[in-house]
Structure 1
Amino acid sequence: MAQVHSHSEVLLLNKFSFCNFPSKLLQRKRSCSFTRNDAVLPDHRRVQSSSPVALKVAVADDVKKSSNDTEDHIWDGIESDVLPHIQTLRRFPKVELAGKVALVRFDSTILLNQELDPRSRSVFNALFTIKYLLEFGAKVILASDWSNKINSNVLSAEYVADVFSSALKYQVVTAKSLSYKISLDVGAFKKTDILLLENLSEFKEEVANCSKFAQLLSSGVDIFVNDSFSLSHKILASTVGVAPFCYACVAGFHFEESLFQLRKMAKLDEKPYAAIIGGGNLCNKAAALHFLASRCDGLIFVGLMSFQIMHALGLPVPPELVEKGANDAASDLIQFARDKHITILYPKDFWCTKIHHPNQVEIFPSHGIPDGWEPVDIGPRSVEEITSTITKCKKVIWVGPVKFRFSSQYSYGASKLTGMLCKVSQGTCNITVIGSMACKAIAKVSSSIFGLNMVESGSAVWEFLKGRMLPGVSALDRAFPFDIDWSAAYHDPAQPLVVDIGSGNGLFLLGMARKRKDLNFLGLEVNGKLVTHCRDSLQLSGITNGYKLDDTVLT
């Protein structure tokens, strides 16, 4: 890779002159780009021990190699503004972590579960984010919101600190600065490497994204690491507000993995591609369903939304199961699918219980549910049809619960669906499971979940599918999405590199490239027409130490 001038001064090219500026004049508070310095997303199956010694070996082994499996790619038809390329902890220079204070916004729904499933990739990546920072010399401040009580355990900050101390094998100490509206005393790190802030759910300023509260959260912080993807669709002080007060804002390993799954889900690289759709509220999710219909070869409805589809098709549906105002949205979706020759499947039969006698269970066809009976699960004929469809697919996503009522004790459909997906995942089919209920169903039935891609945050994914920007993603630093082949770009890539930002038609860049053949020149320009003109001039001139990029490859 080409290197920036290695002397004590940095060469800066502008429109008027070619000047030498002391490097300290080029420093800024926020960093938007870092030298490529990859750490491999950890393979959670390799590390069985969470001890510091085992971690040190694992981290040292991981960061020595680069990974192509997690490379981000632009996909067909998706605007980069919706899911921009961002800086990640994996690519952040390790040498920049030593001695720094990192604020980690962790996901309490993952790390404060009653039982941390060691098979879960999310659990491993979330813990690895914290361990990775510690291993490379950073001090860590943990921040999150959590329910005050889970079962019989009262989740005080002290209790949560004990949970983390046990999981990380590091001492975690609580900090009470937020209650007193005072800046955190970084001197507290003399006794420990990890501080835990108070429960953010107790502060209304968190939800209001209060700037003063965000500044208080980030006091003394150098690097912000967002590892709470489940809240990326919300605007909170701890996920969005803190970003302007930190010189670097990056995604943790769990956050990065979730984004990678979204990108992979949206790509059209594997066909046939089917979406299994559970849950309800079709009106609110209409835009997302249209997006899925534009990507997939089939939509398979298994939740409450299936009744809206059936109703729009003119099939009899119990009135209490019809979503008010959803008929037009369902009809539009059906017509859109027909125009694109997309298959729509809905349940052909249901397990039903008698309303006043819940112990009485019968199977009825979907078009013939008697009065006084309530559907509680999809039936065997429906499962058979879904299985027949899925086994022909190369790519499947499952989003939303199968159950029609959250209190229902019946799980026939979910268990059969889970078993079938686990089976086809052993072959060539790429399976992605989205949403906490769907992921729990998989973990409950399957003894091995390594072959499945799982994203617990259904709400954030639905917002992404609607084409909306995720504030938690947008708040992080941008990253250059591609690697430049420096050997192909320059005759001698080892020469010092000069970057011209906003190079226009490139006349000045071309002139300097002719005069200084001992330097390589890189021009950045957002105007595509000017870039085309400059590239044509480069080819005609035969210059081998000039290269130009436009906004089609920059985010």
Structure 2
Amino acid sequence: MFQKLTIKDIDIKGKRVLIRVDYNTPLSPDGSVADNRKITESLPTINYCLDNGASIILMSHLGRPKGKVVEEMRLTMVGKRLEEILGRGVIKLDDCIGSEVEGVTDNLKPCDIVLLENLRFHPEEEKNYPEFAAKLARLADCYVNDGFSVSHHSHASVNAISGYFDVAVAGFLMEKEVEHLDKILTNPAKPFVIAIGGAKVSTKIGIIEHLIKKADLFLIGGGMSYTFQKALGKTIGSSLVEESFVPIVKKLLKENMDKIVLPLDYKITDMLSKTECGDIKTTVDENIPDGWMGVDIGPKTIEKFINRLDGAGCILWNGPFGVIEIPEFAVGTTKMAYAISDSSAITVAGGGETDESIDHLKIAHKFDHVSIAGGACLEFLEGKELPGLAVLTDR
């Protein structure tokens, strides 16, 4: 059971409800919203407010403006897309604090919707300044955090702000994210298989260490696997490696070799840029020759990994298995995505690139849960306390 109060636990009728959402959406070259998912995931909380006669004040960040106004990072186009999705007007403001903003929020009618300007135009947001949080709190009667994906930050809109309300509650997306991920941490169905990839072992070692006793099997691919291979004395050519983590990985392998499955072969190239590559070939085994770099798991590995998914009770997937920006090197990730989504196991996926891969393949509906969070998902699975979640009022 979710251990925090939610929006259902407070009276919002006729109240101004300030909701921290995450509308940090990718934008198209023309500035329009390229992916609606973060907006649509916020709709259950918004619609609940509308159904209960509250007025709504939405606050979010977009990009990394570094504490100053950046015209391309205004939330104007996000507001327009939200209007289209809701089929009703959204009042988009040009700032998030100040007398002009208060002049609007003080006169809201039930079911009015306001979208504040990018919180990160103010450096005080990321510095978690109480004074900035107090100015945000002045705008509303109730505070709801529905931004799980930003709750690993100690920022004013997710952390300090809670001190200016009698209770700070979760929205429905926050509740959904925590409940699904918490099941993974506390009582996963067995056998519990973790498929994990991504570029760096440094960003994933925390998950492996935290879940090593709960999981039955780890399928490790992506750039992080080269550090594992080096720890085993394999040759990795010019592939990505984090030397400082080799001793940590050696110890992990020594103690848990029966749970860790590494690639048997790789797709490799002798040149790689953001948009193109050189010659491509597949290795005969896990060794990569000098002058070549691994860019995807090979066919033998794909077959082995998919076979090891068979019979799983729960599968957690985090991170791609290759350089998915280049289609030739997204094969492993694509085939694993289809295999996981087709499994009869409970399937949970999380992480920015994982989410993007699933959306690209249009198979999100086949997973039990796809987290829209990146860093927050990782930190939660590592067992870390999230500053934005910790300050919400306990049941």
User: Which TM-score applies when normalising by structure 2?
Assistant: 0.88
Equivalent positions of 1:388-537 (< 5 A) are: 388-404=307-323, 410-424=329-343, 427=344, 429-447=345-363, 449-479=365-395
Deviation digits for residues 319-374 of structure 1, max 9, x if unmatched? 55221211111012113314xxx421111111112328935221113433233322
CA contact (8 A) 2:125 2:132 kept: yes
Taking a change above 3 Å as real, the CA distance of residues 287 and 332 of structure 1, as seen in their structure-2 partners, is farther
Counterpart CA distance in 1 for 2:341 and 2:206 is: 29
CA distance in 2, matches of 1:179, 1:271: 49
Q: Does the CA-based 8 Å contact 2:97-2:136 persist in structure 1? A: no
Name the structure 2 match of 1:92. Answer: 9
Supply the distance in 2 between the matched residues of 1:421 and 1:405 (Cα, whole angstroms): 17
> Is the contact between residue 148 and residue 154 of structure 1 (CA under 8 Å) also seen in structure 2?
no
Give 1 or 2 for the bigger CA radius of gyration.
1
Q: 3-state SS of the aligned residue for 1:365?
A: coil
Q: Aligned residue for 1:242?
A: 161
CA contact (8 A) 2:216 2:259 kept: yes
User: In the alignment, residue 6 of structure 2 is paired with which amino acid?
Assistant: T
Q: 1:116 aligns with which of 36, 56, 66?
A: 36
Provide, for residues 11-60 of structure 1, a one-character-per-residue CA deviation record: whole Å limited to 9, x for no partner.
Answer: xxxxxxxxxxxxxxxxxxxxxxxxxxxxxxxxxxxxxxxxxxxxxxxxxx
How far is the alpha carbon of 1:275 from its aligned partner? Answer: 0.5
Partner of 2:142: 223
Q: In structure 2, what is the Cα distance between the partners aligned to 1:360 and 1:316?
A: 19
Q: Would the aligned equivalents of 2:349 and 2:371 in 1 still touch at CA under 8 Å?
A: yes
Structure 1 counterpart of 2:129: 210
> 2:120 maps to which residue?
201
Correspondence for 2:54: 138
Equivalent residue letter for 1:164: L
The answer for the alignment partner of 2:82 in structure 1 is 164
**Separation in structure 1 between the aligned mates of residue 192 and residue 234 of structure 2, nearest angstrom:** 27
d(CA) in 1 for partners of 2:239 and 2:329?
A: 20
CA contact (8 A) 1:302 1:378 kept: yes
For 2:170, give the aligned amino acid: A
Instruction: String of CA shifts for 1:498-539, please: whole Å, max 9, x gaps.
Output: xxxxxxxxxxxxxxxxxxxxxxxxxxxxxxxxxxxxxxxxxx
* Maintained 8 Å contact 2:235/2:289: no
Secondary structure of the structure 2 residue equivalent to 1:294: coil
Secondary structure (helix, strand or coil) at the match of 2:279 reads strand
8 A contact 1:419–1:446 mirrored in 2: no
Cα separation, 1, equivalents of 2:99 and 2:297? 53
Residues 191 and 405 of structure 1: is their aligned pair in 2 closer, same or farther, counting only changes over 3 Å?
Answer: closer
**Equivalences for 1:283-322 in 2 at 5 Å?**
283-318=202-237, 320-322=239-241
CA contact (8 A) 1:277 1:399 kept: yes
> Is the alpha carbon distance of 1:398 and 1:288 closer, same or farther for their aligned partners in structure 2, counting shifts above 3 Å?
same
SS of equivalent to 2:212:
helix
Which stretch has the larger CA shift, 172-181 or 287-296? 172-181
**Structure 1 residue 268 and structure 2 residue 268: aligned?**
no
CA contact under 8 A between 2:49 and 2:111: conserved in structure 1? no
Indicate conservation of the 8 Å contact 1:375/1:404, yes or no.
no
The aligned counterpart of 2:260 is 344
- Unpaired stretches in structure 1, ≥5 consecutive residues: 1-70, 73-84, 480-555
Cα distance in 1 for residues equivalent to 2:358 and 2:94: 39
Query: Residue 215 of structure 1: CA displacement?
Result: 0.5
Query: Identity over the aligned pairs, expressed in percent?
Result: 27
Contact kept? 1:276, 1:299, Cα under 8 Å: yes
Q: What amino acid does structure 1 have at the position aligned with 2:24?
A: T
* Deviations 1:89-142, CA, capped at 9 Å, x for gaps: 2x324xx1111111011111359741325xxxx654411211111210111111
Of 259, 265, 283, which residue of structure 2 is paired with 1:364? 283
Amino acid at match of 1:256: E
Task: Tell me by how many angstroms 1:183 deviates.
Answer: 6.6
Figure out how many residues of one structure are paired with residues of the other and give that number. Answer: 381
Q: Matched residues in 2 for 1:166 and 1:101: separation?
A: 22
Change (3 A) 1:143 1:394: same
State whether structure 2 residue 17 is matched by structure 1 residue 102: yes
Q: 1:447–1:367: structure 2 CA closer, same or farther, 3 Å change rule?
A: closer
> For the residues of structure 2 that align with 1:455 and 1:442, how far apart are their CA atoms?
11
Rounded to whole Å, the distance in 2 between the matches of 1:126 and 1:444 is: 20
Distance in 2 separating the partners of 1:97 and 1:272: 43
The one-character-per-residue Cα deviations of 1:384-437 (angstroms, maximum 9, x if unpaired) are: 00011001211110111222475675211011111111221xx2x111111121
Query: Quick one: structure 1 residues 289 and 184, their matched pair in 2 at CA, closer, same or farther if it must change by over 3 Å?
Result: same
Counterparts of 1:326 and 1:360, CA distance in 2: 30
Q: Which consecutive residues of structure 2, in runs of 5 or more, have no partner in the other structure? A: 28-32, 66-70
Aligned-partner SS, 2:201 = coil
Q: Do the aligned partners of residues 176 and 443 (structure 1) sit closer, same or farther apart at CA in structure 2, a change above 3 Å counting? A: closer
Q: CA deviation at 1:190?
A: 4.5
Root mean square deviation of aligned Cα: 2.6
Please list, as runs of the form range in 1=range in 2, the aligned pairs for 1:9-48 lying within 5 A after superposition: none
Are the counterparts in 2 of residues 439 and 456 from structure 1 also a CA contact under 8 Å?
A: yes
Structure 1 Cα separation of the partners of residues 367 and 89 of structure 2: 34
Instruction: Verify the 8 A CA contact 1:221 1:246 in the aligned structure 2.
Output: no
Question: What's 1:129 paired with?
Answer: 45
Q: Distance in 2 between matches of 1:367 and 1:191?
A: 62
TM-score normalized by structure 1? 0.64
The amino acid of 1:329's aligned partner reads I
Say whether the 8 Å CA contact 1:439–1:455 is kept in structure 2.
yes
